[in-house]
């Protein structure tokens, strides 16, 4: 097991201690002052943005900043930095659940609840319960509450810490969205410099009791492990990460994704597709400057996916000179407007079927006198946004989603697929 945290501090923007909880008795409040001194000394260094700070006295500090509050741990043991930093982010999420927003004022107004939460979220320096829905069952913000909970909720004593018992719904439903974000960077020569797909299986569950769920995908590794043929539409997924509800031992054994889901919304699984992706919407732009008085753009947009799919809410942002005026814009599809606050022309197409090409022509006036001392012109990229429903780049498919609960009710699963643009930039100008 990784080492434990000695203490947790909440500091204001000037490094003063607002709240601190000592877990092991081997550090003092002086450690917070030492940390903040070291943080100020690091300003301007290459390590200024590192979330880990070392002290010659044998103390390691790990911290994050949220608004005007520093969340800081101090430890004399060798801790798992990623685990502790994740825990600090979960602390932020819990505080936001209770106080709407985490900032100095909300901590001062609710310091009793803050201490209660810290005692439940960390025990003897080890992270414990970080699910806000579970914590809110027995730590309530009402200070005048007469009723005292004598025992923790079932979810805390239960092996299933992310779900309470006794949940009931009139209509039992599961919504599963397979969402993929396409990230692409194309250089000025038209070459793809970077391309990848980041996917997530987003679930919203409204199920009674303690349901057992089993999910089947067409992932090649999953199918081979289950002794199934991989001919046809089997795909390779990289960097698969699961929500804590998934039984990892079962997955390692026979690649079955089985789980008792949390109530409400959560990400069941995330993955990445590292193979190079063909740009779904390709944009070319020709720019002509006529003397110094005007500039012309000819922009072509081409959809490079199959005709049966349609991109919606397409938005193509083409950078224009900051001193451009008098726009004259014509499009073969959709509408384009000049957005001077963004130094760009924004071309919007509500519906863009596969295998189509559209064109946009624009002319802008330029001032006749240009600043002579102007440096080299910075060229922003063309940015593209879109959504393609009922489509995934990876080809991932949900083969089945089974829901079994001891009461025997029938649950209705709904599955949707959608692909959208992530960081989608074409440096073609």
Q: Is residue 190 in some structural domain? A: yes
Give the Cα separation of 393 and 281 in Å (integer). Answer: 13
Closest by Cα among 85, 106, 110 to 12: 106
User: Are 308 and 343 contained in the same domain?
Assistant: yes
The reply to whether 152 and 65 lie within a common domain is yes
Our count of domains for the chain comes to: 3
* Residue 164 counted as domain residue: no
- Stretch 222-250: mean pLDDT: 69
DSSP string, 168-197: --SS-EEEEEEEEEEEEEE-TTS-EEEEEE
CA 323-325-330 angle, to 5 degrees, is 130
Q: How far is CA 259 from CA 135, 160, 242, in A?
A: 21, 10, 10
Mean pLDDT computed over 271-296: 88
Contact of 347 with 299, CB cutoff 8 Å: yes
- Tell me whether residue 2 is in a domain: no
CATH number of 186's domain: 2.60.40.1170
324 and 235 in one domain?
A: no
Strand pairing category for 344-353 and 398-404: unpaired
Within-domain flag for 243: yes
Predicted confidence band of residue 373 (pLDDT cuts 50, 70, 90)? very low
User: Is 187 in the same domain as 209?
Assistant: yes
Strands (E), 281-407: 281-290, 294-303, 310-319, 325-331, 335-339, 344-353, 357-365, 382-389, 398-404
Phi-psi region of 48 (alpha: psi -120 to 50; beta: other; left: phi over 0): alpha
> Cα(360)–Cα(283) distance, rounded to whole angstroms?
11
**To 10 degrees, the CA torsion angle through 373, 375, 378, 379?**
80
Q: In this model, does residue 239 exceed pLDDT 70? A: yes
Of the spans 7-21, 98-112, 123-137, 344-358, which averages the highest pLDDT? Answer: 344-358
Residue-level pLDDT at 47: 56
Alpha-carbon distance 266 to 173, whole Å?
Answer: 15
Q: Is residue 141 part of a domain?
A: yes
Mean pLDDT to the nearest integer, 376-402: 88
The DSSP bridge pattern shows strands 412-426 and 173-186 to be: parallel
How far is 427 from 429, CA to CA, in rounded Å?
Answer: 6
Residue 149: what pLDDT? 45
Structural domain containing residue 116: 7-157
Q: Does residue 252 belong to any structural domain of this protein?
A: yes
Q: Which residue has the higher pLDDT, 420 or 29?
A: 420
Q: Tell me, what's the pLDDT at 429? A: 58
Question: Residue 162 domain-assigned?
Answer: no
Residues 107 and 208 in one domain: no
Residue at a domain's end among 97, 129, 157: 157
Together in a domain, 77 and 117 = yes
Do 33 and 80 sit in the same domain of this protein? Answer: yes
Neighbours of 332 (CB within 10 A): 13
Rounded percentage of the chain residues whose pLDDT exceeds 70: 86
For residues 205 and 190, membership in a common domain is answered with yes
266 in the same domain as 248: yes
Q: Is the pLDDT of residue 317 over 60?
A: yes
Q: Which of 106, 133, 157 corresponds to the end of one domain?
A: 157
Are 271 and 348 part of one and the same domain? no
The CB density around residue 328, as the number of other CB atoms within 10 Å, is: 12
- Examine the fold and report which residue of 125, 157, 189 is the final residue of a domain before the chain moves on: 157
Same-domain pairing of 323 and 247: no
Beta bridge partners of 266: 203
Which CATH number fits the domain that encloses residue 91? Answer: 3.30.450.60
Q: What is the pLDDT of residues 157-192, one digit of tens each?
A: 556 778 888 899 999 999 999 999 999 999 988 899
- State the pTM of this model: 0.65
Give the pLDDT confidence score for residue 375 in this predicted structure: 46
The answer on 80 and 54 residing in a single domain is yes
Coil, strand or helix at 232 = coil
Q: Is the pLDDT of residue 35 over 50?
A: yes
DSSP 3-state assignment of 251?
helix
Q: Is residue 291 part of a domain?
A: yes
Count H helices and E strands in the chain, helices first: 8, 23
């Amino acid at each position: 097991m990784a080492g434990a945290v000695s203490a947790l501090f909440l500091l204001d923007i000037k490094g003063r201690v607002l709240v601190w909880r000592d877990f092991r008795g081997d550090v003092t409040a002086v450690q917070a002052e030492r940390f903040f001194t070291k943080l100020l000394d690091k300003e301007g260094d290459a390590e200024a943005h590192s979330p880990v700070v070392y002290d010659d006295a044998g103390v390691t500090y790990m911290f994050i900043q949220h608004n005007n509050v520093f969340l800081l741990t101090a430890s004399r043991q060798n801790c798992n930095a990623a685990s502790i930093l994740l825990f600090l982010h979960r602390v932020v999420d819990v505080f936001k659940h209770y106080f709407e927003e985490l900032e100095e004022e909300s901590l001062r107004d609710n310091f009793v609840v803050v201490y209660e939460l810290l005692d439940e979220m960390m025990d003897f320096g080890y992270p414990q319960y970080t699910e806000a829905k579970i914590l809110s069952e027995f730590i309530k913000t009402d200070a005048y509450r007469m009723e005292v909970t004598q025992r923790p909720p079932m979810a805390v004593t239960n092996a299933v810490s992310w779900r309470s018992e006794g949940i009931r719904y009139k209509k039992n439903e599961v919504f599963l969205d397979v969402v993929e974000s396409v990230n692409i960077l194309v250089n000025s020569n038209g070459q793809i410099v970077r391309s990848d797909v980041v996917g997530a299986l987003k679930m919203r569950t409204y199920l009674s009791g303690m349901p057992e769920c089993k999910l089947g995908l067409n992932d090649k590794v999953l199918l081979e492990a289950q002794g199934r043929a991989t001919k046809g539409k089997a795909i390779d997924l990289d960097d698969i990460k699961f929500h804590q509800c998934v039984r990892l031992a079962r997955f390692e054994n026979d690649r079955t994704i089985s789980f008792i889901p949390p109530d409400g919304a959560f990400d069941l699984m995330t993955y990445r597709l590292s193979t190079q992706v063909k740009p779904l919407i390709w944009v070319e732009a020709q720019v002509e400057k006529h003397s110094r008085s005007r500039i012309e753009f000819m922009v072509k947009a081409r959809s490079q996916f199959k005709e049966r799919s349609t991109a919606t809410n397409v938005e193509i942002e083409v950078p224009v000179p900051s001193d451009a005026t008098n726009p004259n814009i014509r499009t073969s599809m959709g509408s384009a407007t000049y957005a001077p606050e963004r130094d760009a022309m924004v071309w919007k197409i509500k519906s863009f079927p596969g295998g189509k090409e559209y064109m946009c022509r624009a002319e802008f006036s330029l001032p006749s006198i240009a600043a002579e001392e102007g440096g080299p012109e910075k060229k922003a990229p063309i940015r593209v946004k879109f959504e393609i429903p009922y489509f995934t780049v990876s080809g991932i498919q949900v083969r089945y989603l089974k829901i079994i609960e001891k009461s025997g009710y029938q649950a209705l699963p709904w599955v949707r697929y959608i692909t959208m643009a992530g960081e989608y930039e074409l440096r073609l100008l």
